Structure 1
C-alpha cells in the first residue's frame, strides 16, 4: 500500500496537543499560512508532483489524478536517468529557496520528509537501480497501466476503455525497453518474473475483456482486440526472452550491500542505527517471542508440541469460496469493538470493500489494503484484498495456503489491514491531512509498524476475550509477529550479511514456523524488498512512543488519545511523529552514520 498525512501549524498549538485530549487544530492560522518559507515550500512540492505526474502517468492515475490516463511514459532507461537529474536539481534548490528555520513545526516536518524522499529516490534510481536489474518491473508496469483503469469507477467505462486501449498500444515498447535495459539480474528474479507472467497474461486475456464487455461501441471493441493481440504477442516474446535468453545468463546478486541499506533506512525511515545493533535487537526479540509462543501453546494443549498446536489451529479455515464473505463479516466484529472500547476515533462510516487479490499480484501477497489516491474525487472506495489459492495447486498446497486464513489468524490480519490498521490510517489521512508531502510521501516503518502494532494492542485491550479462545488468538498473533521478525532478520541478512535465498527459506521455516510454500513466498519477497524489516522496526518504535506518551501525559493519557494523536499526522517516519507529538524542535532526521538524540 501507499503511505500518507495532516496538521495545523503553530508551536502553541503543538503544546496544546500535549496538554489536552487529542484535539488538533482544524485549520492553521492566517499568519502561518502566509509564511513566505511555507509558501515557497509548497510551491516546490506542487511543482515536484506536477512534474512527476507528467513524466510518470501511472503515478498520476494511482493517486487519483486522471489527466494522463490515456498516456504511458517513464519506462525507458533514459527517462529514469532524466528523472534522477531533475530530483538532484530539486534537492539543490530546496535549501536555496526555503528557509527551514523559518517554518512552523508541521511545515518543518514536511521539509524534512520531502528532502529525505528526494535522497531516497536518487539512491534507488542511481545506485540500487532495480529498474535495470529486475525483469518483473516491466510486467508490473504493464499490469498496473491497465488495472488502475478498471479497479475504480472514476469515469464512464467507455472512457476508461479508450484510455486502456491507448496505453496498451504502447506496451510492446515497454517490453522492448526492458529487454534492452536489463543487466544481469539475479536468477531468482527472472524465475519470479516467469511465474508472474502467467498473471499478467490472465489480466489481458481474461480480466480486461470481461471488464470491458458491457461497452457497446463496436469500433472501440475492435480496437481493443487489436491491441490486446499485440500485447499478448509482445508478452509471449518477452516470456520467451526471459526463459531462453535472460535466465541462462541471470547471475546477478540481489543484495544491495550495507552502505546502501543504511542510507535507505536513514532516508526512508529516519533510522540511523548500525546493522549490528539492529540485528542484536532482532535476535533478542525473536527469542522472546518464540518463548512466549511456546508458553501460550502449552496453555492451549500441554500434551502437544507447540507447532502441532499451531498447525491444528490452521485447519479451522474457510473454504476458498468462503474467504471473501468470512473476511467481510470479521471486519464488522472488529470495527464494533473499536467503537465500544474507545480504542481510536474512526472518522467515517464508509467500509472497505473485501475482494480477491488481482491475479497478477498474487505471487507476493497474502493480504493487502488498496486505498484511493488523495486526488480521487469520484471512485473513493478502498479494497481489502485477500489471496485465494491457485486453482492449479495440489490439495496439499491449497491446504497450506488456506491455513494462513484460519479463523484466528484472519482476525489478526484484518486488524492489521483494516481496523484499526491501514484502513483507519487512510481515513485519518484522507480527512484530516492537508499536506501533499504527508499524503504522498510516506514511511513504511510508520505505516506497516502501525499495522503490526495494532495486532498486539487489540489483544492487550481485550479483543477476543480471555481463556482458551483468547489464547488461540494470541498464538496466531505471535505466529504472525514471528513472521515479521523473520522478515526483519532476513531482510537485513540477505542484503548486508550474505544470507542466501535457501538460507532465508529455512529461516522462515525454522524460526517463524512457516510452511514451505509460505516460507518461499516470504524469502522471494525479501530478495527484492530489502527493507521489509519495516513492520517489526516500526512496531518497536511505536511501542516506545506509547511508553513515552504515558510518562509525559500521566493521568491525562488514554489509549484513544495516544492513537488519535499518532495517526493524525499521516504517514511520517516515527521520529518525525514523536517530534510533532511532543512539540520538540529536534534536528532533521535522515543522516546515516549519525545517531539521533
Structure 2
C-alpha cells in the first residue's frame, strides 16, 4: 500500500482530501457543485480530525501502512504496557475535548455523521483497551502484531521491493520485544484461545521462516540480505520461545472465560455498529430468520431433486466446477457477466471502468483464503489496483482433495461469491468509498455495513433476476441460502456465546444442526465466535439494509428506484447503517416499527 513519502502524515492527508464534507444530495450521482466556504464548526472539525489522524498513525504505524501512508513503515508500536496506558489516556482526552472544540449542532448532516463516527471510534477503542482487554486475555493478539507488521509490507507493491525490505527489517528488529512483552501481560486466557494460539503460531513461524525469504529473494543488496537474515534469526528464536511459553507455562493456567458479557456486548454494538436494539430482540429475530431460511432451503432443494435430502442436493452441486487451470479465466468471465447485468438492469452505478484484477491467491496466504478482495488503503498513491483472489489447489494434492477444494468454485457458488466480493459487493463499495472526500468515512467503517452489504447483494441479485429462471436459478438460490444460513449461525453464536452462556460445544452443534455444516467447519466457526464476538455483523447488516430499503420505498414513493437507493447507500462509504439511514431519510425519520 508508496510513491508518496511526505514529511508528515498530516501533510499527506491535507494533500489527498479535505477533512470533512459539506452536505450534498445523497440519492443521485451528479456533477459536483461549487462548494461553499466551510463554517467555523466545519473548520474546527477538520482541524480536530487532521490532528487526531496524524497522532493516530504515529501511535499505530500498522494502521498507517494499511491506510496507504508510509512514513511509519519501519516502525512498530502499541504492544508495550506503557504505550497502551498512553493510548488510553490520549483517547479519553480526545473524547472529552471533542464537544468542547466542535459544535455538533452547527454541523451539516454529513459532517455531523463524521462527528458521530469519530466519537464512537474513541469510545470503541477505549472499551477495547479498558474493558475487553484482548492484550491481557488473548495470546493471539501478539501473533497479530508479529505477522501483520511484516505481511503488510509484502502484500502490495506500493514501493520498490528493496525499500519495503528495509522497512521490514526495521520492524523485525522490534518483533522480539512483542513476544517479550506477552508473558507479563497475559493473565488468564480461555484455554481454547491458548490452544488456538499454538495452532496459529505455526503460520507465524512459517511466515518468517519461508514466506519472507521467498518474497525478498529478488533483492540483490548483500548487506540488506545479511541484515534480514540476522533479524530473521532473532525473530524465529523469539517465536520459538513464545511457543514454549504457550505450551509449558500459559496453557496449564489458562482457565479464563471467553464471554465478554451482555453489557460490554451491548456497548460494542452501539459504538461499532450504531445498534441499540436489545439482545433479546436481536436473538428473537435471529431464531425466526433462521427457521424461515431453513424452510426456504428445504423447499428449493425439493424443487431441484424431489425426495433427496436437502444437504445431499447441495453437496452434489459442488461437482460441477471448472478445471483448476481454468479457474482464473472462469472467474473473469463470471465477473464480466455479473457486471453487465448490473448495468443492463440499472441496479447500481459502477463508477469506474477499471476492473478488479482476478488472480491466484499469493502462495503465502493460500492456507487462509478461498476467495478474497484485496483493495488499496484510502490514501494509497501507487499500488491502487484491486485484486480478486481465488485459490488454486495444491499440485501435490490427490484427485479427491483437488475435487473437494474445487467444489467451492462450482458453477452455482462462484457467481454468489463473486457477487459478494466484487460486483456489486466489496469492489463496487470500494470504488464508491474512494470518491468520498471525508477522511473519517474513508478510514473508519463498520463491519455491519461492509459485510452486511456483501451479504445483502447475494440475495438482491437473485431477487432481481440474475441467473434467469428454472433449474439454474434454483441451484444458485440453494447456494445463496446455504451461505446465508452460515452467517445466521454466526449471528446466533456470537450473541449466545457472549451474552447467554452458550458453550463452545453448543456452538459447534449450532453450526452442524442449524447451518448444516461439516464438523470440521463447524468447529472452525465456533472457535472464531469465542474471540470475535460481533461476527454477527453479516446478518445484522443485511437485516438493517433490507429494513432501510423498505423505509426508502415508503418515503420516496414513486421516486424510488433500486439504483437510486443503492447509489445513495454506498455514496457515504461504509459507516454504521443507522448513520446511513439518517443521511438518507433525515435525522427525524422514525425507526422501523417491525423489529
What is the TM-score with the length of structure 2 in the denominator? 0.92
Question: 2:4 is matched with which residue?
Answer: none
The one of 395, 408, 416 aligned to 1:412: 416
Question: 2:99 is matched with which residue?
Answer: 95
For each residue in 1:9-68, what CA deviation from the matched residue of structure 2 results, as whole angstroms up to 9, or x when unmatched? 34xx54xx56xxx1356256323x2x1111111111111111111111111001000001
Aligned length: 578
Distance in 2 (CA, whole Å) between partners of 1:190 and 1:360 is: 24
Further displaced range: 351-360 or 552-561: 351-360
Structure-to-structure mapping, 1:43-442, within 5 angstroms: 43-318=47-322, 323-355=327-359, 366-386=370-390, 402-430=406-434, 432-442=435-445
Q: CA deviation at 1:361?
A: 6.1
Distance in 2 (CA, whole Å) between partners of 1:255 and 1:399 is: 38
Distance in 1 (CA, whole Å) between partners of 2:134 and 2:401 is: 31
- What SS class does the counterpart of residue 30 from structure 1 fall into? coil
Tell which has more relative contact order, 1 or 2 (C-alpha 8 A, sep 6+): 1
Matched, 1:554 2:557: yes
Distance in 1 (CA, whole Å) between partners of 2:256 and 2:403 is: 34
Q: 1:260 to 1:554 in 2, by over 3 A?
A: same
Distance in 2 (CA, whole Å) between partners of 1:51 and 1:596 is: 43
- What SS class does the counterpart of residue 259 from structure 1 fall into? helix
For each residue in 1:226-273, what CA deviation from the matched residue of structure 2 results, as whole angstroms up to 9, or x when unmatched? 111111121111112212221222111111110000011111111111
- What SS class does the counterpart of residue 372 from structure 2 fall into? strand
Question: 1:539 is matched with which residue?
Answer: 542
Question: 1:568 is matched with which residue?
Answer: 571
Q: CA deviation at 1:492?
A: 0.3
Distance in 2 (CA, whole Å) between partners of 1:330 and 1:141 is: 37
Q: 1:173 to 1:446 in 2, by over 3 A?
A: same
Distance in 2 (CA, whole Å) between partners of 1:378 and 1:126 is: 37
Q: Which runs of 5+ in 1 are unaligned?
A: 590-594
8 Å CA contact retained: 2:19, 2:46:
no
Distance in 2 (CA, whole Å) between partners of 1:68 and 1:540 is: 39
Q: CA deviation at 1:559?
A: 1.2
Structure-to-structure mapping, 1:418-497, within 5 angstroms: 418-430=422-434, 432-497=435-500
Q: 1:359 to 1:213 in 2, by over 3 A?
A: closer
Distance in 2 (CA, whole Å) between partners of 1:48 and 1:586 is: 32
8 Å CA contact retained: 2:20, 2:46:
no
- What SS class does the counterpart of residue 68 from structure 2 fall into? coil
8 Å CA contact retained: 1:6, 1:570:
no
- What SS class does the counterpart of residue 368 from structure 1 fall into? strand
Distance in 1 (CA, whole Å) between partners of 2:396 and 2:251 is: 24
Aligned residues: CA RMSD: 2.6
For each residue in 1:199-221, what CA deviation from the matched residue of structure 2 results, as whole angstroms up to 9, or x when unmatched? 22222222211221111111111
Question: 1:9 is matched with which residue?
Answer: 22
Q: Which runs of 5+ in 2 are unaligned?
A: 1-17
Distance in 2 (CA, whole Å) between partners of 1:318 and 1:178 is: 46
8 Å CA contact retained: 2:548, 2:581:
yes
8 Å CA contact retained: 1:150, 1:160:
yes
Q: 1:387 to 1:181 in 2, by over 3 A?
A: farther
What is the TM-score with the length of structure 1 in the denominator? 0.91
Q: CA deviation at 1:83?
A: 0.6
Question: 2:14 is matched with which residue?
Answer: none
Q: CA deviation at 1:407?
A: 2.5
Q: CA deviation at 1:180?
A: 2.3
